[in-house]
Structure 1
Amino acid sequence: MKKVPLSRVFVNDEVREAGMRAINSGWYILGKECEAFEAELAAFVGTKEAVLCSSWTTGALMLHHAMGVCPGDEILVPSHTAFPSIEPMIHRGARPVFIDIDETYCMDVDLLEASMSERTVGILPVHLYGHPANMDGIFLAAKKHGLWVVEDCAQAFGAQYRGQRVGSIGGAGAFSFYPSKNLTVMGDGGCITTNDSVLAGKLRMLRNHGEKSKYVHDFVGYNFRLNEIQAAIGRVELRNVDNLNEHRRDVAARYNDRLEGVVQIPPERPWARAVYHMYVIRTEQRDALAEFLKEKGIGTGIHYPIGNHQQPAIIKMYSDLPHLPKTEEVVTQILSLPIYGDLPMEDVDYVCDAILEFFGKFTTANPSVGEK
């Protein structure tokens, strides 16, 4: 039976050679590969600085630390996102204030001001599935109330908002290099981008035990360093990411062309250039469709089945949690289809054929559906 995975990393001989080059160098932590990768990341994103770290989560934790996030603070964040989006702020003692989503699955900017209090310090928009959040609306609210903005770019490396790369728009951007991401280092990894050189300097110290110079520690930090092998691999991945992202867009266009009118396809706003970390459809028959595709050897996912405001860990921690009708509806309907940077178009058509076959079984209930 044919197998189509949900995602797959990009690997070629250059990637393998880069890993071996770092192994053979004899230097494995924060060396020349990391230094070069940081410079190349900053140039790509369009910021003065990029600070490598061991994951998105550790990067965001040290960023919140460096920015002075403290107990009692409140941060506006969408509920519909990966749980790690809120973990660092909770570890710092801050409370996530959950915002419902708009049609792009990103935070609804019209709900921001009503969710603020005297304890609100910042906004953490998430560029979910590779589609940018509405940054104009976010900055309008942030500037009016004196709040900082940090972009969660974990799923959106290379995406653009009004021609500007995500990660260069807010005070800082946090990226993930997890294996399924558009840019990977073949394991956990991440970076923080910023135009604030003072902030970047503090982050570099925080990731390395607060060390200013060898064995001299100005403050208590962490071990959030990235290794040389992953940095070397990441540099090759970065050189290929534009082509890989463009192919993701071609895959999304094929899905759109074949599935529009059969399922609800993901929107792309005129001001956005999405990079389709995930291609997410909606249907009320989500679970049955997923099982049908599984029987055809097609991998799918649900990102995410529970809004964070309804996660067991959050319910235990906080009372007076909001009712978020859009989030609570979409989590019962969304389904992620296979997409990655070198997914063969024949596999895309195989997925589409299977979906059309599935809905063709229901022509007695809605004859027009099976004909599309």
Structure 2
Amino acid sequence: MPSHPAPRTQRAIVQTRYGAVRDVLALSETFPVRAPGPGEVQVHVRAAAVNPIDRHLIEGNRRLITRRRFPFSPLFDLAGVVTEVGDGVTSFRVGDRVHADNEVDGGGASEYVNVRAGLLASVPSGLGFVESAGLPLAAQTAMTCLDRGRVTFGTRVVVIGASGGVGHLAVQMARAAGAFVVGVSSARNREFVRSMGADEVIDRNEIDVSSALGPGSFDVVIDCVGGREQWVHARYVLRPGGRFVTIARDEDGVVTVASAARLLSTITARRLRGAGPRGRNYVPVFLKASGDLLWRVNESVESGRVHVHVSRTLPLTLEGVKNALEESGTGRTVGKIVLRR
């Protein structure tokens, strides 16, 4: 039993239907607190971070893939304190400081949320809740990109969108692995990307990747931006057998049956075209969050090789959540936006 049991109801920011952030988010004073089930851990949320996917899901752009039952408390990235553990959980105890990408159930915008124990990891030593909340989704995605790209010592890597949430972590992880890294970003973020460890920085608004870099000169391109042009430029700069690793799509609007069919067709065609030892391999990344992967992130953070850059901290209130989601939606965020209680 917890030393300070959670109440039966809580204050939570909830989504009431699909639509624009300003229209569909509200404050509930009586959102239910559920006791953790088998394999679950109840967390008192102290901080939460926003990601671009949050706004898409709130607006309903991904309802064809993931439907929500309302009311729903959004935000996947969270950090807090364990208040209760469910049956069968032995890896966490009441009072532990933890963080997670609560990949389906969200709840970062609530006071208490249940998280599957397999998604959790302890907060990295020396880190507060704000920084820890900024890590899970972006850092696990970045690490998956490096794994799928087989980035190691001496690998030559281009990171497109190098100043964003995933991009700035991918730059650091690649450098920590001993890679040579070129970051692609806007001119206003040039010094920031250099400070993350990039060996060179290209202004995406001034020159495209294929014009700035020689043909067949890189092993891996990590795309955090999306759009067909990224793939076109990458094919030029990748060596035979190189890998284009992307977390984005050509189209970033509402997912319909037609757009899903186009996406599947595009992925299939590019993978077939890039198959073989001389091809340019097309590698789409869809994150599968896990506590094991997050522990690997923690190790890189605790070693001092990687840190999350929090560009802005807002209060974990209804207005704070709305402002954070709107700012994230501009696509101009440097690092991460985090909300704190």
TM-score, scaled relative to structure 1? 0.27
More strand by share: 2
Structure 2-normalised TM-score? 0.29
Q: Which has the higher contact order (CA 8 A, sep 6+)?
A: 1
